[in-house]
Amino acid sequence: MKKSFMLTLGLWLGMALLMASLHADEWYKGQLHCHSQWSDGNTLPELAIGWYKDNGYHFMSLTDHNVLQHDSNKWKEVPAARIDESKAKFGADWIETKEEGGKTLVRLKTFAELSQKLNTPGKFLLIPGHEQNVGVAGFSLHANAINITESIPFPKDFPSIAAAASSWRKASLANSAANGLEGFWMHNHPDWPYYDNPPEDLIEASEIDFYENNMSAAPRKRQSQMPDQEKYWDVVNAFRMLNGKKPIYRVTSDDTHNYLNFRDNLAIPGHGWVVVRSDKLDANSLFRAMKKGDYYCSCGVVLKDVRFDPATKTLTVEVDPAENVKYTIRFVGTKKGFDTNKVPFEIPAEENLALRKGFTYSDQIGATFLTVEGTTASYKMAPDDMYVRAIITSNKAPQYKGTNKPEKETAWTQPVGW
């Protein structure tokens, strides 16, 4: 009797531990592209970080242009209103100023100082990173290198965006690995400013894991002839898989520069973010989860669960609904044997602007497999489905307007089933 009881107790405890481990992970909301006065943002770094911390984010990277916040003797002219705001929020002893040439300069706080001041274990984490910017053969290449220890210079003299991006990614991730870090590299806003990086760049550079769906208010120029954000993603995924490569994951972000202009709610943070399922709030764990695709992107819709069963090849999505809001869950993908024909077009060169080439693609790429009205839906992949992802929309407009975001709150899962 005692032996049977102990065996039953052991099985019960084992099952309890297993169930606890299966549900131990939590969702963490993060921002992986924003700026401060360390580069061309218009507010102090502590105020930029403070906005995200105060508005429910768990982690972020302050990705200023081509610089990590390491220089302890970096001074910059700052408006009196920003100085007063920083003093009010962080105390009069926090900020350091000096007068020089009739201007009031502020010493910008380093990453170490910012982390010590603003990090809260288990609740908020600042991760080091920067945006990389360069021109390649008349086109713009931007990327974010995150969880690195130093600024990564651009490898020179590459003939194409794809070759340059691949090399820069390799150098950035090598820095992380050499320092025991899980590096993260994403190709930024391919449609900016004149659709500089068409899908073919990311099809060719197939080792790139992540690209950015940028929701900043900066308008894209001459974008109408190119594939929209949804089509772009599916074109890259379909042709990559046709070539025997893996799909690419997407990151939604703010790319905030202007924290102070509230005109039309355009130039402030809070446009787009990622939500990562991780066992703990540290950079290595977060990025390992993202590399597995265990996260979703959003500009307002909150998900309770996303899961893919590889045995049945079924993707299930569950929304965490807001009151009096309706939801539509659409499963999207591309089938094997899709029409690969591309119709080319050209946008003529102008002053300081190289010739742009693009294609229109078949409607078979990024087709809708199933649409469900409601807060929970599942899709079982057909044998000829290459991959599937879900787009979840509400009937509610986003809190902040933007020229590069959907008209309704939306969330996106990553492609699965490949």
Predicted local confidence at residue 267, as pLDDT: 54
User: Measured between alpha carbons, how far is residue 330 from residues 149, 317, 394 in Å?
Assistant: 40, 10, 11
Rg of the chain on CA atoms, in Å: 23
The whole model's pTM is what?
0.92
Q: Which pLDDT value is given to residue 17?
A: 39
What's the pLDDT score for residue 219?
Answer: 64
Q: What is the pLDDT of residue 205?
A: 97
Q: List strand residue ranges (DSSP E) for 151-209, in order.
A: 184-187
Tokens of 302: 């909150």
Beta-ladder partners of 387: 334
In the chain (418 residues long), the average pLDDT of successive 10-residue segments reads 44 40 75 96 95 96 96 95 94 95 95 98 97 87 96 82 94 97 96 88 97 80 77 97 98 89 61 96 98 97 98 98 98 98 86 80 98 98 98 92 85 97
Domain boundaries, the chain: 22-71+108-413
Cβ atoms of 277 and 289 within 8 Å: the answer is yes
Query: Residue 154 has what DSSP assignment?
Result: P
- Please report the pLDDT score of residue 152 as a whole number: 85
- Tell me the CATH class for 22-71+108-413: alpha beta
Residue 24 and residue 26: Cα distance in Å, rounded?
7
185 strand-pairing partners? 145
Indicate the Cα dihedral angle 64, 70, 71, 74, nearest 10°. Answer: 40
Strand ordering across the sheet containing 97-100 = 75-77, 103-107, 97-100
Q: How far is CA 231 from the centre of its chain?
A: 18
For residue 227, give the nearest of 126, 327, 334, 366 by alpha carbon: 366
- d(C-alpha 414, C-alpha 318), whole Å: 14
Half-sphere exposure of 184 (CA within 13 A, CB side): 31
Tokens of 20: 């606890």
Can you tell me the distance from the alpha carbon of 226 to that of 240, in angstroms, rounded to the nearest whole number?
A: 19
Q: Which two tokens stand for residue 210?
A: 């992540």
How far CA 313 is from CA of 282, 337, 375, 411, in Å, comes to 30, 19, 20, 21
Sign of CA dihedral 355, 361, 366, 371: positive
Strands 410-413 and 367-373 come out as: unpaired
State the DSSP string of 314-379: EEEEEE-PPTT--EEEEEEEEETT----EEEEEE--BTTB--EEEEEE-TTTTEEEEEEESSEEEE
